Amino acid sequence: MKKFVIPAILAVVIVGGLGAWYLFGSRAPAVSYRTEKVTRGELVAAVSATGTLEPEDVVDVGAQVAGSIKDFGTGSDGYAIDYDSPVEPNMVLARIDDSLYRAKVEQSRALVRSSERKYDQAKAKVEQAKANTVRAQADLKQATARSDQSNKEWDRIRQLGPTLAVTQSDFDIAQANFETNKAGVGVAEAALVQAKAAETDAQAAVGDAEAAVLMAKAALQQDEINLGYCTIRSPVKGTIIDRRVTIGQTVQPAFNTPSLFLIAKDLKRIKVWASVNEADFPQVKLGQPVRFTVDGYPSEAFRGSVVRKRLNATNTQNVVVYTVEVLVDNSAGRLEPYMTANLQFEVNRRAEAVLVPNAALRYKPPGRPAERGQSPMGQDDSGRGEVWVLESGKPKAVPVRLGLTDGTMTEVLNGDLDLGTELIVAENRAGAPSADTSNPFGAPKFGTKKQ
Note the pLDDT tens digit of each residue in 111-143: 999 999 999 999 999 899 899 999 988 988 888
Q: CA-CA distance, 417 to 37, in Å (whole number)?
A: 10
Residue 279 has pLDDT above 90, yes or no: yes
pLDDT of residue 441: 37
Helix (H) or strand (E) holding 350: strand 340-357
Lowest mean pLDDT across 28-37, 99-108, 250-259, 425-434: 425-434
Name the fold adopted by 29-56+266-431: Elongation Factor Tu (Ef-tu); domain 3 (2.40.30)
Question: Same fold for the domain at 29-56+266-431 and the one at 60-97+230-263?
Answer: no
Q: Are 273 and 323 in contact (CB under 8 A)?
A: yes
For the chain, what percent of residues have pLDDT higher than 90?
Answer: 57
Helix (H) or strand (E) holding 148: helix 99-160
pLDDT of residue 383: 81
Residue 443 has pLDDT above 50, yes or no: no
pLDDT of residue 363: 93
Question: Which of 387, 381, 439 shows the shortest CA–CA distance to 415?
Answer: 387
Q: Are 385 and 400 in contact (CB under 8 A)?
A: yes
Q: What is the dihedral of CA 326, 330, 331, 333, to 10 degrees?
A: -170
pLDDT of residue 380: 53
CATH architecture of 60-97+230-263: Beta Barrel (2.40)
Question: Which of 352, 266, 337, 332 shows the shortest CA–CA distance to 52?
Answer: 337
Residue 292 has pLDDT above 90, yes or no: yes
Q: Can you give the C-alpha Rg of the chain in angstroms?
A: 53
Number of Cβ atoms within 10 Å of the Cβ of 239: 19
First-to-final CA distance of the chain: 32
> What is the rounded average pLDDT for all residues in the chain?
85
Residue 232 has pLDDT above 70, yes or no: yes
DSSP 3-state assignment of 26? Answer: coil
Note the pLDDT tens digit of each residue in 310-338: 999 999 999 999 999 999 999 998 999 99
State the average pLDDT over residues 268-293.
95
Q: How confident is the model at residue 3 (pLDDT cuts 50, 70, 90)?
A: low
- Selected residue with higher pLDDT from 19 and 392: 392
Note the pLDDT tens digit of each residue in 36-66: 999 999 998 899 999 999 998 899 999 999 9
DSSP 3-state assignment of 65? Answer: coil
Residue 24 has pLDDT above 80, yes or no: no
For the chain, domain boundaries: 29-56+266-431, 60-97+230-263, 101-223
Lowest mean pLDDT across 90-99, 196-205, 328-337, 360-369: 360-369
Q: Which amino acid is at 110?
A: A
- Selected residue with higher pLDDT from 17 and 363: 363
**Using CA of residue 206, residue 208, residue 214, residue 217, what is the dihedral sign?**
negative
Q: Which amino acid is at 166?
A: V
Cβ partners under 8 Å of residue 369, min gap 6 = none
Note the pLDDT tens digit of each residue in 396-438: 999 999 998 888 999 999 888 889 999 999 988 765 554 443 4
> How far are the Cα atoms of 41, 404, 420 from residue 352, in angstroms, in the given order?
5, 12, 15
Q: Are 390 and 396 in contact (CB under 8 A)?
A: yes
Lowest mean pLDDT across 87-91, 146-150, 266-270, 311-315: 146-150
Residues in the chain: 451
Burial class (CB in 10 A: 0-12, 13-18, 19+), 127: exposed
Per DSSP, helices labelled H in 230-345 are none
Residue 439 has pLDDT above 50, yes or no: no
Note the pLDDT tens digit of each residue in 154-205: 787 777 766 666 777 877 788 788 888 888 888 888 888 998 898 899 899 9
* DSSP state for residue 162 in the 8-state scheme: G
Q: CA-CA distance, 423 to 388, in Å (whole number)?
A: 6
> How far are the Cα atoms of 126, 210, 261, 308 from residue 73, in angstroms, in the given order?
53, 41, 12, 37
- Selected residue with higher pLDDT from 377 and 218: 218
Q: CA-CA distance, 364 to 360, in Å (whole number)?
A: 9
**Using CA of residue 188, residue 193, residue 194, residue 200, what is the dihedral sign?**
positive
Q: Are 263 and 58 in contact (CB under 8 A)?
A: yes
